[in-house]
Structure 1
Amino acid sequence: MFGFFSRRKTRVEKAREAFFKGDLETHKKLHSPDEIGKEPWHKTEQGKYIGQAVYGASDGIVTTFAAISGVAGANLSPKVALIVGLANLFADGISMAIGDYLSEKSEKDYLAAERERERWEVEHMPEAEKHEIREIYKRKGLSGEKLDKLVDAITSDKDLWVETMLHEELGLFEDDSSPLKSALVTFFAFIIAGFMPLIAYVFASQWNFLANNQFLISCIITGITLFAVGALRQIVTGVKWFIGGFEMLMIGGLSATVAYLIGWILKAVFNIVV
């Protein structure tokens, strides 16, 4: 998972960082013609999937730890915690990856269908579509000769015309990420991070200290991992790393506490013995 984060910052990321630090000189330099021309206008192959990696990892660790917390709250056997944790980990990981794949693919299919429709309208109803372009930019404040020149420039190229309609009329933008790669990143990030709460249970037979303190050690490992994953969210959200870390720690802790209490209540009510 962490290979996805070992990359150079983009110009936009550096500019965002300089803006929040109040570093005006660096911000200006990053907006010079030379700096703007250096960088391609698309995400890097690694950068495309950072969001999926971070959020997959977040969901993985929270859901797995919540599952074993419920078992611990019910005071069930550690073997039950291991079984429930692993079953939850892989079932939810696969479910989340499939959901990610279908969501991304559906968006791409929808975009392709809308692009085809707009192209047909441009070819068969050019005057109406040209009028729509005019209205779009008229509402943005353009008028007179400037508006006429812009409309003529856009409608002189069918591809540009269609893409402009997609962006400005429908609010749709092309994303060149792969649904399959996105799903795989989500799955592996979910599995790797979600495995952290189970380490003490998996290796309990190798060390008596682990066997005697499985849930406590799981809590410690999970807390560290939650904070780390939360801190990494700043790559996607821009929030300060320590704020992101504490937010994720609080969310994971709340989920685990609720699961633990439910397990404890069910144990008390039904007197479950395993």
Structure 2
Amino acid sequence: MSRLQQARRAYERGDVEQARQAHDTQRIRTSAVEPHQQEQGRYLAEMVYGASDGIVTTFAVVAGVTGAALSPGVVLVLGLANLLGDGFSMAAGAYLSGRSQQDYERKEREREAWEIDHFPEGEREEIREIYRAKGFEGEALEYAVRTITSDRERWIETMMREELHILPERKDPLHAALATFVAFAIGGAVPLLAFVLAGLWEGLRARSFEVAVVLTLLTMFGVGSARSLVTYKPWYRAGLEMLLVGGLAAAIAYAVGYFLGGLA
């Protein structure tokens, strides 16, 4: 377990001793030179939320079509259409969002670099005002200004972070999109699994929806529990929350399909 993970877990549990261990000075010095720890779980949020959306939306389609008493073939067609269409849409959104953020950061970085090169005294005064607002004064303030502005890259990074409040985007947009799509497709395939098996095993056809419900609810709880890795909620609470939201969405879709089934 990384030091950051231990600190988070200690805070959630109110474990003072574990928190003290996570803040051991020697351990902090050691972990500070282990940047690979920060790379773990970089795309975890996209995977968890992609899987969550895949399960909920596909099961809502399955429930709606079943409520309308349409054939299992229609369930599969509409379910697969949702799986691929919505999955691609989510992936495209993740990609475009990531690219837009990167483009914005790049343009702001270029502007700050240009201003530092052309108006160094004004930019230096901005640094001075930023750190004065943090409580620096006198020689301590001037030392901070000299240290920061003595290195161009450090100066740019400080302006990006402190003036513009922009942190560097560490995620690759394409990888984020792929993680979202794959997780959405895997999660969304679960509600359809029972209907695929029903086509292969005749004895399952009469119970395909009930089997889909059981598989989906179990998966919803599992994926919801995994959200605790991102939200740091207790795993059982995150699982129940996902189960409640997903179950409600499916119940509404089923009811709509049932009452409007005659139009199909």
| 1:16 and 2:8 correspond | yes
Q: Gaps (5+ residues) in structure 1?
A: 1-8
Name the residue aligned to 2:230: 236
Whole-Å separation in 1 of the counterparts to 2:164 and 2:19: 32
Name the residue aligned to 2:174: 180
Query: Are the structure 2 counterparts of residues 218 and 103 from structure 1 closer, same or farther at C-alpha, using a change threshold of 3 Å?
Result: same
Q: Gaps (5+ residues) in structure 2?
A: none
Matches within 5 A, 1:116-131: 116-131=110-125
Question: Displacement, 1:46?
Answer: 4.1
Name the residue aligned to 1:30: 22
**Paired positions, count:** 262
Query: Are the structure 2 counterparts of residues 133 and 42 from structure 1 closer, same or farther at C-alpha, using a change threshold of 3 Å?
Result: farther
Name the residue aligned to 1:141: 135
| 1:204 and 2:198 correspond | yes
Query: Are the structure 2 counterparts of residues 85 and 79 from structure 1 closer, same or farther at C-alpha, using a change threshold of 3 Å?
Result: same
Whole-Å separation in 1 of the counterparts to 2:127 and 2:258: 62
The answer (yes or no) to whether the contact 2:222–2:239 under 8 Å persists in 1 is: yes
Residue 158 of structure 2 aligns with an amino acid whose one-letter code is: T
Matches within 5 A, 1:63-82: 63-82=57-76
Residue 178 of structure 1 aligns with an amino acid whose one-letter code is: D
The answer (yes or no) to whether the contact 2:194–2:212 under 8 Å persists in 1 is: yes
Secondary structure of 1:35's counterpart equals helix
Residue 253 of structure 1 aligns with an amino acid whose one-letter code is: G
Question: Displacement, 1:177?
Answer: 1.9
Among the aligned pairs, what percent are the same residue? 48
Name the residue aligned to 1:3: none
Whole-Å separation in 1 of the counterparts to 2:237 and 2:47: 19
Tell me how large the CA RMSD over aligned residues is: 1.4
Whole-Å separation in 1 of the counterparts to 2:210 and 2:49: 25
Whole-Å separation in 2 of the counterparts to 1:42 and 1:145: 37
Write out per-residue CA displacement over residues 24-69 of structure 1, whole angstroms, 9 at most, x where no aligned residue: 2221222123212333246544411111110110011011001111
Question: Displacement, 1:22?
Answer: 2.5
Identify the match of residue 44 of structure 2 among 26, 37, 50.
50
With normalisation by structure 1, the TM-score equals: 0.91
Question: Displacement, 1:133?
Answer: 1.0
With normalisation by structure 2, the TM-score equals: 0.95
